[in-house]
Amino acid sequence: MITQDTKEWMAGMCLAMGLRENMENPFGCGSYWEGQEQTRGWFWYLAHDTYFVLTKCDFSFLQDKRLTMPQNSLYISLRLDYAGHLPPGKILAFMEEKGDAANTVMRAGSHVAYTEVLYMPSFYMRHLQTAFTSSNANPIEILKNMGGEHNWTSEMMDILSDIRKCSSTGMAGELYYVGKAYELMASLIAMGTRRLPKKSEDYEHILRVIAFMDAHYTEDVRQGELVKISRMSSTKLKNLFRQFTGCTITDYLQSKKADHAAHLLADTEMTVEQIAKQVGFGTATGFSTSFRKQSGISPTEYRKRMRISCMKNPSQAENLRFDEM
């Protein structure tokens, strides 16, 4: 668990990113931070008791910065990215539960823009079990078992977009944000509940299939092999897989390939042909067609957008247009 006060934790993170608090807060609630010599842009967060933190931000690093997540972190995060680090129309969802310090280097010119709701352990381990009459929801298990970061509903995306677009300020705004955080968690729980197979053994078999696909998606995964792993008929496997993940087996594999390819396009100098081979395609043409279907743009266009978002020359940040709040 996070042993220090949530606000102190968030403030320390802002300071580490080269931001300084501005008391002239345009949101009228939460905390508003702006960049100085090391960072350009803005960062806003609202901590609601010890339960969750909402964040909206849009900034760029003008210098290389090493960021460290604290040890003993334990949280659930749902994030909608606006800086092009994910293919369009995707929510990044993750849970930090290992308790290890995480270090990352943000290069000069890196553009960061997202909306996020970060749920603390006191919310999903205690609050959900004591403040409501129903106590059978377990968001941790939902996130562990939903099989990747590409299965989130359009409803969840709309909620995060609403948080981004909120123009209410002061108490009215704060009430709106808190309500949206509960609505987002409700959507996550509803999604997970709808997708769980009815029989526990089916649930375990589908998890086994997903684990195998996650480990071998760059290879030629045969449906017959998945049928053997699932111990189901082909039809039952297809139906339960769609129920559990919200997509077909083929779409799941293609999405995993596209996610992997997106990182390679953004973080390496590999050619499109090399990336196609790396993620399991026989030809660059087949890879490009699949990537466009998953992300809405070609691999070349995606790389171009990423290089605009992550400028090689920090001085280019002077011409950067930040999203309106």
Tell me the whole-structure pTM to 2 decimals: 0.69
Residue 320 included in any domain: no
Residue 147 banded pLDDT, cuts 50, 70, 90: low
Name, in order, each residue with C-beta under 8 angstroms of 206's C-beta and a sequence gap of 6 or more. Answer: 197, 230, 240, 241, 244
- 57 in Cβ contact with 123 (< 8 Å): no
Q: What is the mean pLDDT of residues 110-126?
A: 89
- Report the C-alpha gap between 66 and 82 in whole angstroms: 22
Length of the chain in terms of residues written:
325
266 vs 38 pLDDT, higher one: 38
pLDDT(145) > 70: no
Handedness of CA 226, 230, 236, 242 (dihedral sign): negative
The number of folded domains in the chain is 3
H/E element, 116: strand 111-119
User: What's the mean per-residue pLDDT of the chain?
Assistant: 82
Alpha-carbon distances, residue 14 vs 10, 43, 44, 64, 143 (angstroms): 6, 8, 10, 15, 27
The percent of residues in the chain predicted with pLDDT above 90, rounded, is 38
Residue 290 included in any domain: yes
Please indicate, yes or no, whether residues 124 and 220 belong to a single structural domain of this protein: no
The percent of residues in the chain predicted with pLDDT above 70, rounded, is 81
64 vs 182 pLDDT, higher one: 182
Please indicate, yes or no, whether residues 116 and 145 belong to a single structural domain of this protein: yes
Q: Supply the range of the domain harboring residue 286.
A: 257-308
Q: Kindly report each contact of residues 226-234 with a partner whose C-beta sits within 8 Å and lies 24 or more positions away, as own/partner.
A: 229/205, 230/205, 230/206, 231/205, 232/202, 232/205
Least confident segment among 60-74, 86-100, 128-142: 86-100
pLDDT tens digits, 66-96: 776 655 567 888 888 887 666 655 777 777 6
pLDDT(273) > 50: yes
DSSP 8-state assignment for residue 316: G
